[in-house]
Each structure stands twice: as structure tokens, then as C-alpha cells.
């Protein structure tokens, strides 16, 4: 059977999202900026979808700005959030295990004269609040800390970190990349205490090409793109109404099933670990991995790229770390100080609400066969 266990990379589009997109593409295809009735129909649909996404996130509709993806949201939050507080100073704090969208933007900002402090993780894949406290300075403009690490599934202490930062200086902006946490964990931006929060549609059963940035009311950011003044003047360009409708439908479906989804994911993860202990005891879990849908593993002595290909040939789909930096050594595994055999043998399985136990059984059986037939790498 086919076993798709790479849902942290992308999720299949759910029926609700596909139907919503098709309906808008065929019936409500007007330009939302047009003044005639077809355009106003599209505008009404767009604003209704914004309300739906906001309801799923737990914020006000005016605080949701649609983007093309989580990477764009991260770039916007980091660059323009830091720029907004430039008068305070040119210092940013983030972690060494962020998504590349954050780390590469930080590298570019460093080249432009900003100073960035990268908080190191411990062996469990989380960061110390005492390290964050020690890194804060009067000139700190922005702190960015992901909610869930996309490679090892650690849930970082965003709520506690944001509270610490705001106690130090309320003017410091706090951003979180919540791409892997949205509709997998119960939270709202207000509960986390953040100013900026990034989302991605294709991680929650919407199509690729749509995301969002939460901007807390009262946080003025400069526009990302200039032009026709769409998205309340913050991101010009005709809105992709079909993708937005699909995103909203996926959010609504995901929010309605959130409690059941979390329970299902936790049970599935526990079952996977139980089966691995019984059939492939050599497989080691990486990090603490509290996120219910992500399980990072390593089979020391084997090459993860080979495992991915061999299992893929059997219809079992897993990932050698993050799909976003394919072919490169994982900065997360390096930051966790894993040994070379552990890094080389590291891979990730990730679930969604539709994943069945039979898929886990197929994965464990395929991994056991691979262990028995492949020669362990000596490097």
C-alpha cells in the first residue's frame, strides 16, 4: 500500500479546499478591486474568507494579511519588523534551528549591518530562556522564535519567551513562525503574546501558493509590495481569490476537527514508536519532539538518502530532514550536536489527520527490510 508520511513537507489538498477553489475559479472569478457586481461579489467572498482564517487562528480579520507562502510571511515579518524598530537599534535575536526563511534573511540583514544573536539548542532541540534573557539588549529590535521545529518537532517556549521579552521592553517586536504548529496545536496569537505570526496554506491541506501573516493590531508595518494598495495597502497585487478560498475552507475544516486531530496524531505517534521498538530497535528518536505530528529518527550507520529512495520505491514516503533544503546538511542536526553517523542516518516521518495505522505498519515493515538488506555505511 502507499504510505504518505511526509506531511510536514506538504499535505494533500482536502476536499473542502478543492471544492472552494473550483467554485471561486468558475463562478466568483471577478477582480475584488473592480466596482461592478462581479468584482464586489469577489470582494465579499475574499473578506468572508479572511474572517474564516481569522476565526481559525483566533484573531481579528483586520490582523490577517494574505501572502504567497510561509517563507514570504517570514521574510516580511523579519525585514520590515526589524526596520520598524530600527530607531531602537540594529540587533535581532533568533534561534539556530529556525527555518531557512528566517536564517537566510538574518544572514542578509547581517550583511546590511545588523547584528544577529543565534540562540543555541540543547540536545532535546529546545532553547534556554536564560540564554534569551542574557541576549536581550537596549538596542534589540526584534526576536523571532519558531513555534514548532519543522525537522525534529520540538515545541519551543514561545509563550514564555514572548512574556520575558515584553517584560524587558514592550517595544521589542516578537515574531513566531507557526507554520508547523497551526491546526496541530491549540493556540491563539494573544495566548502566545506575539506581534507577528507566519502561516502556510499547504501545511494545512490548502493548495501551495497561499499563506498569511498575522500582524497584531497597533503594529504598523511598511508595505511589502507597492502598487494597487490591496491587503489594506500592505501587499499590493490582485488577490488570488481561489487559493484564499481554499485556504479558508481548509482552516475551517481543520479548526472543527482540531481536538480529534490532536488525539489521533498523538496516538499515531505513540503507535509508531511502539512498533519501531519492537521491529527496528536500532532506530533512535532525535530530540524531545512534543509536536504530535512530527517524529525525527535516525538509523546510525545507514544513509538517510538511501533509506528515503528505497522506501519510496515501495510506496512509503518519508523525508531525509526538511524538504526545504534538499541535498544539504541539516543545520538543525548540526546545531543539536549529533554525531556524524546520527546525522547521516537521520530522517523524518510526519502525519496528518488522515494518516492510518496501516500506513505506519507499511513504513515500519519497509524500514525493517531496508535495515536487513542494505549494508550499513561505514562513514
275 belongs to a structural domain: yes
14 classed as catalytic:
no
264 in the same domain as 245: no
320 in the same domain as 223: no
41 in the same domain as 7: no
Report d(CA 1, CA 317) in Å as an integer.
11
Q: Record the cell numbers describing residue 278, joined without a space.
A: 519492537
Best CA proximity match to 131, nearest among 97, 162, 95: 95
193 belongs to a structural domain: yes
378 belongs to a structural domain: no
Q: Looking at 256, 287, 309, which one is the last position of a domain? A: 256
230 in the same domain as 360: no
287 belongs to a structural domain: yes
262 in the same domain as 185: no
Q: Record the cell numbers describing residue 43, joined without a space.
A: 470582494
In this structure, are residues 351 and 293 in contact, taking their beta carbons and an 8 Å threshold?
A: yes
Report d(CA 353, CA 359) in Å as an integer.
12
379 belongs to a structural domain: no
28 belongs to a structural domain: yes
Report d(CA 366, CA 141) in Å as an integer.
49
156 in the same domain as 212: yes
270 in the same domain as 247: no
One pLDDT digit (tens) per residue for the chain, 379 residues = 899 999 999 999 999 999 999 999 999 899 898 899 999 999 999 999 999 999 999 999 999 999 999 999 999 999 989 888 888 899 999 999 999 999 999 999 999 999 999 999 998 889 999 999 999 999 999 999 999 999 999 999 999 999 999 999 999 999 999 999 999 999 999 999 999 999 999 999 999 999 999 999 999 888 888 898 888 878 888 899 999 999 999 999 999 999 999 999 999 999 999 999 999 999 999 988 899 999 999 999 999 999 999 999 999 999 996 544 555 668 888 888 888 999 999 999 999 999 999 999 999 999 999 999 987 754 4
Report d(CA 28, CA 333) in Å as an integer.
46
181 in the same domain as 129: yes
Q: Looking at 256, 288, 308, which one is the last position of a domain? A: 256
101 in the same domain as 223: yes
Helix (H) or strand (E) holding 197: strand 196-200
- Strand, coil or helix: what is 280? coil
Please give the tally of structural domains in the chain.
Answer: 2
* Residue the block writes with cell 496528518: 352
Domain harbouring 169, CATH code: 3.40.640.10
297 in the same domain as 243: no
98 belongs to a structural domain: yes
Q: Which pTM value belongs to this model? A: 0.94
User: Which domain does 318 fall in, by range?
Assistant: 3-11+258-373
The DSSP bridge pattern shows strands 211-215 and 196-200 to be antiparallel
Q: Looking at 223, 241, 256, which one is the last position of a domain? A: 256
Report d(CA 67, CA 213) in Å as an integer.
7
157 belongs to a structural domain: yes
CB-based contacts of 340, cutoff 8 Å, min separation 6: 379
Burial of 326 (0-12, 13-18, 19+ CB in 10 A): exposed
Length of the chain: 379
336 in the same domain as 213: no
- What is the DSSP annotation of 257-315? THHHHHHHHHHHHHHHHHHHHHH-TT-EE-S---STTEEEEE-TTS-HHHHHHHHHHTT
CA R_g for the chain: 21
276 in the same domain as 136: no
Q: Record the cell numbers describing residue 342, joined without a space.
A: 546520527
Domain harbouring 313, CATH code: 3.90.1150.10
Determine the Cα angle at 340 with ends 336 and 344, to 5°: 95
Q: Which of 14, 69, 106, 324 is catalytic?
A: 324
What DSSP character marks residue 319? Answer: B
Amino acid at each position: 500500500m502507499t504510505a504518505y508520511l511526509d506531511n510536514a513537507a506538504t499535505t494533500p489538498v482536502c476536499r473542502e479546499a478543492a471544492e472552494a477553489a473550483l467554485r471561486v475559479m468558475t463562478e466568483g472569478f471577478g477582480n475584488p478591486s473592480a466596482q461592478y457586481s462581479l468584482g464586489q461579489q469577489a470582494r465579499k467572498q475574499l473578506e468572508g474568507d479572511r474572517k474564516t482564517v481569522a476565526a481559525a487562528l483566533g484573531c481579528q480579520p483586520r490582523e490577517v494579511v494574505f501572502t504567497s507562502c510561509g517563507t514570504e510571511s517570514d521574510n516580511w515579518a523579519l525585514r520590515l519588523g526589524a526596520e520598524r524598530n530600527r530607531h531602537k537599534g540594529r540587533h535581532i535575536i533568533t534561534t539556530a534551528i529556525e527555518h531557512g526563511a528566517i536564517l537566510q534573511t538574518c544572514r542578509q540583514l547581517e550583511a546590511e549591518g545588523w547584528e544577529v544573536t543565534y540562540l543555541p539548542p540543547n540536545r532535546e532541540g529546545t532553547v534556554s530562556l536564560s540564554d534569551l534573557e542574557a541576549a536581550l539588549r537596549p538596542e534589540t529590535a526584534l526576536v523571532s522564535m519558531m513555534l514548532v521545529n519543522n525537522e525534529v518537532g520540538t515545541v519551543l517556549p514561545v509563550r514564555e519567551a514572548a512574556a520575558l521579552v515584553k517584560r524587558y521592553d514592550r517595544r521589542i517586536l516578537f515574531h513566531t513562525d507557526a507554520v508547523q504548529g497551526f491546526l496541530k496545536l491549540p493556540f491563539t496569537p494573544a495566548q502566545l503574546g506575539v506581534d507577528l505570526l507566519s502561516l502556510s496554506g499547504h501545511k494545512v491541506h490548502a493548495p501551495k501558493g497561499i499563506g498569511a501573516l498575522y500582524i497584531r493590531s497597533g503594529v504598523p508595518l511598511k508595505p511589502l509590495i507597492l502598487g494597487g494598495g490591496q491587503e489594506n495597502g500592505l501587499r499590493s497585487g490582485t488577490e488570488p481569490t481561489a487559493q484564499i478560498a481554499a485556504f479558508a475552507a481548509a482552516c475551517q475544516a481543520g479548526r472543527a476537527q482540531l481536538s480529534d486531530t490532536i488525539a489521533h496524531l498523538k496516538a499515531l505517534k505513540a503507535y509508531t514508536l511502539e512498533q519501531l521498538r519492537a521491529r527496528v530497535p536500532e532506530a533512535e528518536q532525535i530530540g524531545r519532539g512534543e509536536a504530535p505530528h512530527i517524529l525525527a529518527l535516525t538509523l546510525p550507520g545507514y544513509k538517510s538518502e538511501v533509506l528515503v529512495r528505497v522506501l519510496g520505491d515501495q510506496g512509503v514516503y518519508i523525508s531525509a530532514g526538511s524538504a526545504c533544503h534538499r541535498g544539504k546538511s541539516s543545520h538543525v542536526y548540526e546545531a543539536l550536536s549529533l554525531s556524524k553517523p546520527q546525522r547521516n542516518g537521520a530522517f523524518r516521518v510526519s502525519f496528518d489527520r488522515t494518516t492510518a495505522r496501516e500506513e505506519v505498519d507499511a513504513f515500519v515493515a519497509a524500514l525493517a527490510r531496508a535495515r536487513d538488506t542494505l549494508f550499513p555505511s561505514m562513514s
